[in-house]
Amino acid sequence: MHWKDSLPDWYVKKYGHQPCVNIGTAGHVDHGKTSLIQALTGKWTSVHSQELKRGITIRVGYSDAAFYKCPDCEPPTNYSTSPKCPNCKQEGELSRVVSFVDSPGHE
């Protein structure tokens, strides 16, 4: 069985393939690791009830982001996380899917 066959249908429809780059965050408590991942992916990775209550990451969080390349715009403005180019509204080509791992901070 090919790994693509094991991916959920919604994932294949949205991204087309498995992430090819994994990026992890590390750092002290309250240095913006979760906020950085939210800015890049649009997903807040702290979802456990105690994480939401206390405002800190307790468990490892995970999120994917797809990066698209506009064929008509010049670098670096031709890259976006939106399927449509924010500059010229042209449909972008899927360039890469990246997974982000949000680790709990340390003191």
pLDDT value for 15:
67
Question: Per-residue pLDDT tens for 45-97?
Answer: 887 888 778 877 777 888 888 889 999 999 999 999 888 999 999 999 888 88
CB 14 within 8 A of CB 82: no
Q: For strand 61-69 and strand 79-80, is the pairing parallel, antiparallel, or unpaired?
A: antiparallel
Phi, psi of 92 (to 5 degrees): -85, 160
pLDDT given at position 56:
78
pLDDT class for 8, splitting at 50, 70, 90? low
pLDDT score for 72 = 94
The whole-number pLDDT of residue 2 equals: 53
Least confident of 8-12, 24-28, 95-99: 8-12
Mean per-residue pLDDT for 14-34?
81
pLDDT above 80 (res 19): no
In the CATH hierarchy, which top-level class contains the domain 19-102?
alpha beta
Residues linked to residue 76 through DSSP beta bridges, in sequence order = none
